[in-house]
Amino acid sequence: MSVSIEKGRAVITPTARNWYAGAAVMVVLSFAVGAPWGLLAAAFLALTGTGALNRIVLDTQGFEYRNYWVTKRYAWSEVSDFGVRVYRANFFAATKLVTFNEVARKETLYGKFSRAVAGGTQSMPVVGIEPGKLLELIGIYSAHGAHVETAEKPKAAPRPKPAFNMPSPAYAGQPAARAKAPAQRPIELIVDSRTRARQTKGWPNA
């Protein structure tokens, strides 16, 4: 496969030259033996080489893989536990798959059975790229996706601090000065007996 970066996405497609070479061979054989079906096979190989039928796309939101007629996409929050599974048909050929678990189906009866038999609830084929390299790319994009998701979360508005130092409106100004009490006139002592008699209207013994 070939890995290319397009607008921040990693697009993994088959190595085109290998598939194009196979298509050319099929065209030659088709004309050599007079088998028109060879042209159909050549067209299929060439279409596969373009990546239209078999590819993996990784971005910060999740990943997508297309395996001929099936296309599936998962968000990073929906999957976990990536691993590698190798199915060896004989000593010369082996099929390599990247397995993973869907969070929603991991603990179901089907999920437990799939994990025990196949190593995960889902899998995608690995063609032309080392499984370890693919797992490394998955780790990079999934970690970056988690970082972006955390950074994009809206921050809570800060709670207003109580204004302990602000004066109460009732005591914002200086207290009003108290009104002065009127000055009292001094009491005059009456020592004259006649004056005292007039004021007391003939008090006895005045």
Which tens digit of pLDDT belongs to each residue from 27-75?
888 777 777 777 888 887 777 777 778 889 999 999 999 888 889 999 9
Q: Are 102 and 79 in contact (CB under 8 A)?
A: yes
The average pLDDT across 97-124 equals: 91
Burial class (CB in 10 A: 0-12, 13-18, 19+), 74: middle
Query: The tokens of 10 are what?
Result: 């990693």
Q: What is the pLDDT of residues 160-176, one digit of tens each?
A: 665 555 555 554 455 55
Say how far apart CA 193 and CA 147 lie, in whole Å: 110
The average pLDDT across 169-186 equals: 57
pTM for this entry: 0.60
